Amino acid sequence: MKYFLPFLACLVLCIQTAQTQNVTISPNPASKAVHADSADVFAHTVVKNNAASSKTFRWERTIRSATMGWDIAICDKNLCYLPSVSTRDMTLSAGEEGRMDVHIYPNRVVGAAVIEVKVTEVGNNSNTSTCIYYFNTPVGTKDLMNKASNLRIYPNPVVDHFSIIDDNDIVETIAIYNMIGRQVRTFKTSEEAKYSIGDLPDGMYLIRFYSANGVMVKILRINKMRVRA
């Protein structure tokens, strides 16, 4: 009997613990590659209330490490929040799933981050789950961007055509965008090539340069103008 009672107490405790820990986040951990030129990169996870009744949960974001210059924000089942928001409450019905996404805004900075999101039932701290999100710039991207640092366009302003100076032969594709974000021209690079944009309307354009493996290595601004009489 003296051995049975501790065993029974342990069994009851284990059952109670299993009953209270009924919130899960998956996949866990989560990871995502971040290209520095991307406007928004997010790792998607799902938080689920496995209980038989509706629960209110509070999520808390903790930035374990992050490259300076990156902005980090959360989207839950209700809203997408500003980077300044680190905690909010949300209600999940019995068996309901909701998104718990971590968004990275790299702002053209190469880097990495480790983010922790903890979801806890309000009023019941034993019902909790923590997910870790890993973000990294793909290997080789930083080196490519460094090699493209001396990339130049001439002439600028452009009247009819332009050429590029690419000492390290990084660029394979040139894409031209107007100021509302529409792609208006694409070129494959070739040695001593001249790229014609004489038919485009006058104004400012952004040129994006891509490497052979599709990584955007640099953005430059050009001014398209006609020769005035």
22-136 and 141-224: same fold? yes
The CATH number of the domain covering residues in 141-224: 2.60.40
Count how many Cα atoms sit within 13 Å of the Cα of residue 198 in the half-sphere of its side chain.
Answer: 5
**pTM given for the model:** 0.59
Torsion angle of C-alpha atoms 152, 154, 160, 161, degrees rounded to 10: -50
Which CATH code, of 3.90.79.10, 3.40.50.970, 2.60.40.10, 3.40.50.300, is assigned to 22-136?
Answer: 2.60.40.10
Condensed to tens digits (0 to 9), the pLDDT of residues 135-172 reads: 987 766 667 777 888 889 999 999 999 999 888 888 98
- Domain-wise residue ranges, the chain: 22-136, 141-224
Count the Cβ atoms, other than its own, within 10 Å of residue 163: 14
Maximum alpha-carbon separation in the chain: 107
Condensed to tens digits (0 to 9), the pLDDT of residues 66-110 reads: 888 899 999 999 999 999 999 999 999 999 999 999 999 998 787
